[in-house]
Chains A and B, each alone.
Chain A
Amino acid sequence: MKKSKFTKGLLASCAVLASAESALSSDWGSFEGVTIEAKLIGGQQYEGLYGRIADWEAATGAKVEIISKKSHFEIDREIKSDMAAGTTDWCIGSNHSSFAPQYEGLYVDLNDYVDASVIEGFVPGTITASTVGGDLLMLPRAQFDVSVLYYLKSNYEDAQKAEAFEAQFGYPLAVPQTWEQVKDQAIFFADPPNFYGTQYAGKDEAIVGRFYEMVVAEGGNFLDEDNRPIFNSDAGQRALQWFVDLYEAKAVPAGTTSYVWDDLGQGFASGTVALNLDWPGWAGFFNNPDSSKAAGNVGVAVQPMGSVTRTGWSGHHGFSVTDDCANKEAAASLVAFLTSEESQLAESAGGSLPTRTAVWEANIAKARAGDDPFRTEALEAFAEGAKYAFAVPPIPEWGESTNLVFPELQAAIVGDKTVEEALDDAAEAVDELMRESGYY
């Protein structure tokens, strides 16, 4: 039976206190004497969830031994080394939708170990992105990532600015709805080296992901159905030109090509950037006076659209069970527990976005009922933004292809190559990779 929104809201507010009792009352199975070894992503923001593992241990009689706790990139390298050495008999690994496709044969299909009714509770898009070749490789935790637009509100409350902008660009100054408007406004607001219109991650998978979502927003795609690169299309050129134009106009910091997420977050928090497309984890940080000069002046809006559609390159964290695990049922029980409604309510209370439909609704209801309009604004923007979310291609070569593409995108941005040359060179390199990998 479907629960009412009221009940879910009530559940959300009581979740943290009730979580221990819920863990004990739910049927997580009995695994007396079993020890589950886990490799988990580390970081202060994740500790709250790991604190709940004791409840699962109490409910099942099993023990959990965390044998590794590192960043996802370090965990990724460690897992690859384990695969090479054949030491994959630990049971649970932290996973990410971008990384999952490359671990061929490492993780089990969770459809065989988790009830279908449990899987139905997740946002369908996250289950699709966690499924590779028909196998559900992980259950998503409350770490759903899609970007929306953070902006400094003061820029839209200045009558003189509004007048000057309209005189220059011919339309009223308002929070941008399209990427073209973002470009116009970023150039208009920029006053380097003191203030910048916007910024973007300029290296590694970060810039390729941004480029990818812009290509889709322009009506193109990264790969075709046979995994041939098609991003060097007109849509791809328009997308890359956007990055180039902003760089040439000095509307972004000169060092943006060396920035990734921390640099961008710190940049917007310094109050020197007008518009910033960024992840949900930053919302609280940006509006906290202890960490951000922009606090109290931050607006959150759905991501702008390209000439065709709105899009959001997205990803999420999850937990997987290895095929070499001695007790896969116990491991699957722990994964289901860590991604359960109770766990997601507790974890998303810290600001991260859930991957369960019921928890989304509960969080928004709770925010509306509370006295934090910023949290409500942010959650509503992310809920809307999530509708346009899509995951990276579920192929093992995704990460490698980004390493071939990002230096070429940079080459166009810093003026070493034209947009067309850079995209053709990148497409040629990805084409060679796909051929070597046997796709065609």
Chain B
Amino acid sequence: MRPKRLPEWFVLLLPAFIVMAAVVLIPLLFSLYSSFTPYKLTRPSTLWRWVGTYNYEKILSDWKFWSAFGRTVLFLTIVLNLELLLGLGIALMMNKVTWGQRTLRTVLMFPMMFSPILVGFQFKFIFNDNIGLVNNALQSLGISDAALPWLVDGKLAMFSIIFAEIWMSTSVFAILILAGLFAMPRDPLEAAKVDGCTAWQTFRHITLPFLMPFIYIAMTIRSLDVARAYDIVQIMTGGGPARRTELLWTLMSRTGYVDARMGLANAMGYVSILLSIVFTIYFFRKLSAARAELGMAG
């Protein structure tokens, strides 16, 4: 009798399964397990002390965590919407350019090429209240005679961080939407022209619906990025002052790496991952609906 052989498809995929398990599944399970322990990096033995849902209970009743959670949702919402509007505007304008468009597209991508840490330092200097460019410009032009606390005032500090984030990543939207514009069939646009539609009507009823799948793909990618915002915030404000700009990742990284409370930080990670899941599901559903509307497969 011949020994039972594993199916070929399984054998072929086995290396991929092993790699995925090693780099994704095992770390995920390990971090999930450690979120039920008081694991401190400096006391490895604490990894084996089971405390059940203590970390989760602590987080659920911690207003500092929920404030950071709420602030992250607000940050996500503002950044995504502004990046969409600006990216859409840039893409539409660039689509009209007939000469030097390739060069412009390359220039547009420059901010994305910088490390977020460098962008953070750049804007920390620009928004410095004493020696920063913005205040010096405002004072030199006679617009203000005060040193505006860009990185301290609650509203201004959030604005400064949002500005830096948008400066760095708007081009993601612009490039993806531009790709959509390039792929757009010309017939419906010409038909609209023949029917006497205004530019706004053409955009509202033909161009925008066609672009929606591209917009939702960009939204999904960026929502995951923005929900993990850390470098820029950490460099510019460190989440302060007085937690005014504290986002989930600045809180988690301080808890996990500075305070060494990795068990608690992992529990925070698992609660906050809900945020990414909700946003991802929402945008994927919107993407499917937009594709269905265009007659594409759901």
A residues at B contact (CB < 8 Å) = 77, 80-81, 83-84, 86, 102-104, 106, 192-193, 196, 202-204, 253-255, 257-258, 263, 266-267, 270, 272, 396, 399-400, 403, 406-408, 410-411, 413-414, 416-417
B5 within 8 A of A: no
Question: 8 Å CB contacts to A: which residues of B216-272?
Answer: 237-238, 240-244, 246, 254, 257-262
Interface-facing stretch out of B20-28, B110-118, B124-132, B173-181? B124-132
B130–A258 touching, CB < 8 Å: no
In-complex Cβ contact of A258 among B145, B238, B258, B262 (8 A): B238
Can you give 19 A-B contacts (C-beta < 8 A)? A80-B42, A83-B42, A84-B41, A84-B44, A84-B262, A102-B42, A193-B130, A193-B146, A196-B130, A254-B147, A254-B152, A255-B149, A257-B242, A263-B128, A267-B130, A400-B261, A403-B258, A410-B241, A417-B242
B residues at A contact (CB < 8 Å) = 41-44, 128-131, 135, 139, 145-152, 237-238, 240-244, 246, 254, 257-262
B42–A407 touching, CB < 8 Å: no
Report whether over half of chain B's contact residues are helix, strand or loop; otherwise say mixed.
loop
B151–A253 touching, CB < 8 Å: no
A253 with B130: in contact, given A103-B42, A193-B147 (CB under 8 Å)?
Answer: yes
- Point out which of B128, B145, B242 has the most chain A C-beta atoms below 10 A from its C-beta: B242
A272–B130 touching, CB < 8 Å: yes
In-complex Cβ contact of A410 among B135, B150, B242 (8 A): B242
In-complex Cβ contact of B129 among A84, A103, A254 (8 A): A254
A204–B44 touching, CB < 8 Å: no
**Which residue of chain A is the closest to B239 with respect to CB atoms?**
A407
Q: How close is A322's CB to chain B, nearest CB, in angstroms? A: 14
In-complex Cβ contact of B242 among A204, A267, A396, A414 (8 A): A414
Residues of A within 8 A of B145 (CB): 193
In the bound complex, CA of A423 to CA of B238 (Å): 21
B258–A193 touching, CB < 8 Å: no
A257–B240 touching, CB < 8 Å: yes
In-complex Cβ contact of A193 among B41, B135, B151, B242 (8 A): B135
In the bound complex, CA of A406 to CA of B42 (Å): 22
Residues of B within 8 A of A408 (CB): 242
A77–B238 touching, CB < 8 Å: no
A202 with B131: in contact, given A84-B262, A193-B147, A414-B152 (CB under 8 Å)?
Answer: no
In-complex Cβ contact of B240 among A86, A270, A407 (8 A): A407
A403 with B259: in contact, given A257-B241, A410-B240 (CB under 8 Å)?
Answer: yes
B42–A192 touching, CB < 8 Å: no
Residues of B within 8 A of A266 (CB): 131
Residues of B within 8 A of A413 (CB): 241-242
In the bound complex, CA of A407 to CA of B258 (Å): 15
In the bound complex, CA of A27 to CA of B114 (Å): 52
A407 with B147: in contact, given A255-B152, A270-B131, A272-B130 (CB under 8 Å)?
Answer: no
B147–A258 touching, CB < 8 Å: no
Residues of B within 8 A of A400 (CB): 258-261
Residues of B within 8 A of A414 (CB): 152, 241-242, 244
A104–B130 touching, CB < 8 Å: no
Q: How close is B246's CB to chain A, nearest CB, in angstroms? A: 8
Q: How close is B63's CB to chain A, nearest CB, in angstroms? A: 11
Q: How close is A81's CB to chain B, nearest CB, in angstroms? A: 7
B151–A255 touching, CB < 8 Å: yes
In the bound complex, CA of A257 to CA of B141 (Å): 27
Residues of A within 8 A of B242 (CB): 257, 407-408, 410-411, 413-414, 416-417
B257–A80 touching, CB < 8 Å: yes
**Which residue of chain B is the closest to A401 with respect to CB atoms?**
B259
B129–A255 touching, CB < 8 Å: yes
Q: Which 7 A-B pairs have the closest CB atoms?
A: A193-B147, A254-B149, A255-B129, A257-B241, A411-B242, A410-B241, A410-B242
